[in-house]
Each structure stands twice: as C-alpha cells, then as structure tokens.
Amino acid sequence: MENFEGMGNNLKSKEEPKNPNNIGEVLSVGKDLPASPDKVYRSVKDVAAINDIKESGVVRSKQSAGLENRYGDKVYWSQGANGKYHAIYQGVYVIEAPLSVAKEGIVKKEDITAIYTRNENNEIVDILKQELEKEESADLKI
C-alpha cells in the first residue's frame, strides 16, 4: 500500500483516489460576488490555504494539508447559480473553479479560474489575475 500525499487514507496504487469534493448550493448572502452556474466556490479564512495550493498544486482540506480539521479530507464547495451571490469578507479568500472539474475529482492549481479577496479599500479583487499580470509584465521587460 502506498500513501498518496494529501489524500488522507492509504490507497492501493491501482485505485483511483476518491473525489474529495462535496458540492452544495451557494448561500446567497448580500451582493458581493456574482456566482456563475458553471463554477464552484470555496471560502478559506487564511492566506496559508492559498500558499498550500501554490506548494501542493491542489485544493485540499486542512486535514489533507496536515492541519487539524473536524471535517476530514472533504473539500467543501458551493455551486454558483444565476442571480445568486457568494459572500466575501475582509481577510477571507474565495477560490473559483469550473464545476465540471470539481465533479470529476481533485481541483488542481491550474484549474483555478480566480481567487477573490477584499483589498485595503474593501474592494473585491482577483489576486490570481493580478499575479498573472505581474508575471506577464515581468516577462516583457528586457
């Protein structure tokens, strides 16, 4: 038996890891972030979760990342819907990914379409987009 890092339980090498994602309905609170029906959203309360995605290459639960978590290896997402919104608070990050990917299995770093948070002016910003723009402008410099 091999241990698949970040997947919690020991699995036989020929077994496919089970889909860790649990997809529920978006709780439409406020009018913060418009939710798209073909996307899923995951709120995380700490930048450490974003750093873990950068390091591990996947979206995973606290427990799978080696931290204490009362929910086990499940990764909880909310499915977007037309006319619904996802709440976003100061100091919280909202990860957005395609619904189709989350239904299939593990969401990888390259699958993520946006990472939203609020800036110092309380405006919603996509830090993933900002990061990509920085990289592109750095590549253009001679």
* CATH number of the CATH domain containing 66: 3.20.170
3-state DSSP percent of the chain in helix, strand and coil, to 5: 25, 30, 45
- Could you tell me which residue, 12 or 62, shows the higher pLDDT? 62
> Does 126 map to a domain?
yes
Residues paired with 108 in a beta bridge: 58
In a domain, 124, yes or no: yes
Per-residue pLDDT at 3: 37
Name the residue range of residue 100's domain.
21-140
In a domain, 41, yes or no: yes
pLDDT, one tens digit per residue, over 14-57 is 455 688 899 998 777 778 899 999 999 999 988 888 999 999 99
* pLDDT, tens digit (0-9, with 9 covering 90-100), for 101-128: 999 999 999 999 999 999 999 999 999 9
Supply the pLDDT for residue 133: 84
**pLDDT (mean) for 85-109:** 95
Q: Into how many domains does the chain fold?
A: 1
Residue 62's pLDDT band, with cuts at 50, 70 and 90, is: low
- How far lies 115's CA from each of 9, 27, 46, 94, 141, in Å? 28, 18, 12, 6, 26
Is it the case that residue 5 has pLDDT exceeding 50? no
Residue 102 lies in a domain: yes
Q: Looking at residue 141, what is its pLDDT?
A: 61
Task: Report helix, strand or coil for 71.
Answer: coil
pLDDT at 12 over 80: no
Residue 14 domain-assigned (yes or no): no
Who has greater pLDDT, 65 or 62? 62
| Mean per-residue pLDDT, 57-65 | 73
Which residues have C-beta within 8 Å of that of residue 13, sequence separation ≥ 6? 1, 2
